[in-house]
A and B are shown apart, each in its own frame.
Chain A
Amino acid sequence: MTLLSIEGLGIAFGGIKAVHDVSLKVDPGEIVSIIGPNGAGKTTLFNMISGIYQPDSGCVLLEGEDVTGMAPFRLASRGMSRTFQNLQIFQNMTVLENAIAGFHLQERGAVLADLLHLPSSRRRARAAEAGARALLARVGLERAADREAGSLSYGSLKRLEIARALALRPKVLLLDEPAAGCNAVETEEIDQLIAEVAASGVAILLVEHDMKLVMRISSHVVVLDQGEKIAEGAPAEVSRDPAVIAAYLGSEEAAHADG
């Protein structure tokens, strides 16, 4: 059984089809990348998969079960976790508290035990904190643990969001442009982190602009243009596809030429 399978997903905003009839599959350990020019519908696709938008057509199957349009908090408890292109951070909390929040579902226990500060409650809190610190170390943020999240750079916040998403111990992880705003060294580290997470058996759906990163780590690449899937296949295959070169790589080169 496929871990995550989306079939014929589509949505329109005010009559304009943002995503139309897109299907794809991800299995544990795989990294499936979705590429395409700005406005192609990549983020919209993620929003439908993760229950933020209700699709007009198609369905999302998680471990064979129809979870189309299910609320994000329920998907979280079923093993789906994601990060956002435009960041969704608890700005007024510290970096450590943000990471600890990712352990919400694992920290569940009796309210009374919490109120009375019983050993069972303190143990759960300690476990969450230790897990959070370990994840911060993994994304290179251990030294920023006590800083207010709102004071971090964009690149650091991206990594904090990844740490929080990993705290949920997801079966499938959706990453929307995780390397955006990161320097070359940080991108390298994120690259490595994503590969490690996939190797540990997590299914990864990745949207990324950094073509080198995508070509290096993807098992499979899906190309979107104007809401439609125009090509898919192994990274090498896709990068030779004339339609892809025209739609995406072409426009990328044009953008470079302009800049």
Chain B
Amino acid sequence: MSELLQFLFSGLTVGAVYALVALGFTIIYNASDVVNFAQGEFVMLGGMITWFAYQAGLPLPLAALVAILATAALGVTLNKLAIEPARGAPVVSLIIITIGASVFIQGAAQQVFDKQIHSFPAFSGDTPLRVLEATIQPQSLWVIGGALVVFVGLWLFFTRTLIGRAVLATSNNRLAAQLVGINTNFVMTLSFALSAGIGALAGVLATPITLTAYNVGIGFALKGFAGAMLGGMGNPKGALVGGFLIGLIEALTAGYLSSTYKEAVAFVVILLVLFFMPQGLFGSKSTERV
């Protein structure tokens, strides 16, 4: 019993990180139909830039803020330099561009930073909290809380604000959105900034637990993608639930089978979803084109 609880806690913790990555996928996918495989690099940059700025003497919260803003700016640059000029190209080409960008960012990070594994202190210390017969790290609560807060924030943004509704309108029909006066290029810029910022936040929250290095992005991208697919690509609620589920399945697999199978979980889920449930648990955004 206590063993199961322990596995669940660790599953929820990594699951929260995957949920944040999956939400990042969702935002860009909704605005542009592009699956942005550079999403994992945003997580890496969040951790690496924070570590770098913290080393350089900035207080941790300020270092984290710098990392989030710098990564958001990089997301905007990615859109302006690589996605926007290729507008009109088939979506597959755009997706391949994001894979190229991911490789490039990883290489650049290796040059600018280094090849070492890094971390920085947990926000509220390292004393585990006892819950029933298991323990949980205070940092885990930061990660899980972060995912929930971001989800609620996005929900308010998309349902209540005019610009949020403009993003949804753009995802529904780009031309019709332009006709009613929506600047769809700005919508794209905003989506990349939001998505990159959320990815970086995931990196900031997770690094004290998972550690970071220039090459951690791909793993996060794969698992976040699996979560987004499982929940239904383009569906924010699906991204949240899907991300947490991937984390839980992974933790239970590692706990009861073997941690060598853990890395395969995301692959298996992607394949199963593709074969048996292409719409995912919550149904994906339907992309009707008239």
Which A residues are closer than 8 A to B by beta carbons? 50, 52, 71-73, 76-77, 81-82, 84, 86-93, 101-102, 104-105, 107-109, 111, 114-115, 117, 121, 150, 164-165, 167-168
Contacts and interface: CB of A to CB of B under 8 A. Distances in A.
A93 B182 CA distance: 16
A109 B173 contact: no
Contact of B160 (A107, A117, A150): A117
Contacts of B184: 73
A71 B178 contact: yes
23 contacts: A72-B179, A73-B177, A73-B178, A73-B183, A76-B178, A76-B180, A81-B179, A88-B176, A88-B179, A89-B173, A91-B288, A92-B288, A101-B180, A104-B162, A108-B162, A111-B161, A111-B162, A114-B160, A115-B156, A164-B179, A164-B180, A167-B180, A168-B180
For the residues of B in contact with A, the DSSP-based class is: helix
Contacts of A91: 172-173, 288, 290
Contact of A105 (B157, B169, B180): B180
A120 to B, nearest CB: 12
Given A114-B161, A115-B157, A90 B179 contact: no
Contacts of A76: 178-181
Contacts of B43: none
A115 B183 contact: no
B172 A93 contact: yes
A50 B180 CA distance: 12
A109 B160 CA distance: 12
Q: Which are the 3 A-B pairs with shortest beta-carbon distances?
A: A76-B181, A114-B161, A88-B176
B162 A168 contact: no
Given A104-B166, A107-B162, A115-B157, A89 B179 contact: no
Nearest to B163: A111
A93 B162 CA distance: 15
A77 B181 CA distance: 6
A115 B160 contact: yes
Nearest to A101: B180
A144 B176 CA distance: 20
For the residues of A in contact with B, the DSSP-based class is: loop
A167 to B, nearest CB: 8
Contacts of B161: 111, 114-115
B92 interface: no
Contacts of B286: 92
Given A88-B176, A101-B169, A115-B160, A168 B181 contact: yes
Contacts of A90: 169, 172-173, 176
B156 A104 contact: no
Contacts of A108: 162
B62 interface: no
A150 B286 CA distance: 12
B175 interface: yes
A246 B30 CA distance: 50
Contacts of A84: 175
A73 B288 CA distance: 22
Contacts of A164: 176, 179-180
Contacts of B176: 88-90, 101, 164
B290 A86 contact: yes
Contacts of B180: 76, 101-102, 104-105, 164, 167-168
A131 to B, nearest CB: 13
Contacts of B182: 73, 104
A172 B1 CA distance: 71
Nearest to A50: B179
Nearest to B156: A115
B181 A73 contact: yes
Contact of A109 (B156, B162, B172, B183): B162
Nearest to A103: B180
A110 B12 CA distance: 36
Contact of A89 (B157, B181, B285, B290): B290
Contacts of B288: 91-92, 150
Contacts of A86: 290
